Amino acid sequence: MTALVLGHKNPDTDSIIAALAAENLFRGRGIDVAAAAQGEPAPETKFVLDRFKLNAPQIVSSVAGHDVYLVDYSDLAQAPDDFKDAKLLGILDHHKLGDVTSDAPLECWIQPVGCSNTIIKVVSDFYGVKIPAALAGAMLCAILSDTVLFKSPTCTKTDVKVANELAEIAGIQDINALGMEMFKAKSNLDASPRDLIFRDFKDFDMGGKKVGIGQLELISLDMISSDLMGKLQSELDAVKAEGRNSAILVLTDIMKEGSKMLVSSDNEDIIYQALGAKKDNTWMSGVMSRKKQVVPPLQAAFKA
Ligand code: MG
Ligand code: MG
Ligand code: MG
């Protein structure tokens, strides 16, 4: 049976390109797999796929009865709803360990680096599996995306080393120029407020409460008009009302290297306090990573 290699809900560039890169890795080892995604590519990912002439993975919303490898997550909340009826074969990820489990021994490659594609390159080298030039270019873009051009505190020396090796394979001279081109595509605000909130959105269980956190990374926050800011707040209130304790939208300015946020919550004081922000001024200097700088303090505050 062909196993699926599947990224998380609301797929970002890393989860989609990691599915393609892990497909190359497993097929290179003689394992029958097919890349899959839980949704359409976002504008940034579309740019990457077009730039390197790669096809988007098939879209899958049900995995019951399938063998599955997960890339870029290990949380049930980010897996298809019928994941409990699938067989988990392995995980390639760079997040905190989630709550999936398996019935049999599984292949796990989880490391605290900046991007799942960094791990897949390291594992491909371990098995001697070659990476085609186009795929290498897309994997480089995934690293630039997840590490925000190497500026995120999640970025490690391994990410920078692997990015340079991938640039070499892809024949890319100017890594930074490629990254800026990609972030310009990512900064596209031509979508509904709901689509903007869900473009990169994850639900977390925090002390038994459902907390949804979206992130928009833009070249400049000045791109968001006050009209759009108001619409995003009202839509976020609607998203919160759909069975969540809290909905948060983190708005990251990649050039100024910090974030603002919109909050809709039954416990907003906990959120502002945990993140060192004020209700009337939510600018958080240096905050770029949801994974490392937003989720852990919120987890701790909601548990307390
Ligand atoms: Mg991701
Ligand atoms: Mg990632
Ligand atoms: Mg990200």
Residues with CB under 5 A from ligand 1 (ion): 12, 14-15, 72
Q: What is the mean pLDDT of the chain?
A: 97
CATH class of 3-184: alpha beta
Q: Does domain 193-303 have CATH number 3.10.310.20?
A: yes
Walk across the sheet containing 284-285 and list its strands: 201-206, 209-218, 246-253, 258-265, 284-285
For ligand 3, the distance from its centroid to the CA atom of residue 146, given in whole angstroms, is 5
- DSSP string over 216-281: EEES-GGGS-HHHHHHHHHHHHHHHHTT-SEEEEEEEETTTTEEEEEEEETTHHHHHHHTT-BTTB
Distance CA 34, CA 71 (A): 12
Q: What is the Cα Rg of the chain in Å? A: 19
Give pLDDT tens digits for 149-159. 999 999 999 99
Reported as a single tens digit per residue, the pLDDT across 207-266 is 999 999 999 999 999 999 999 999 999 999 999 999 999 999 999 999 999 999 999 999
User: Rounded to the nearest whole angstrom, what is the distance from the C-alpha of residue 131 to the centroid of ligand 1?
Assistant: 21
d(CA 267, CA 270): 6
State the DSSP H helix or E strand holding residue 91, giving kind and residue range, or none if neither. Answer: strand 87-93
- Domain definitions of the chain by residue range: 3-184, 193-303
- Neighbouring CB atoms inside 10 A of 118's CB total 28
Distance 142 CA to ligand 2 centre (A): 8
Residue ranges in the chain whose pLDDT is less than 50: none
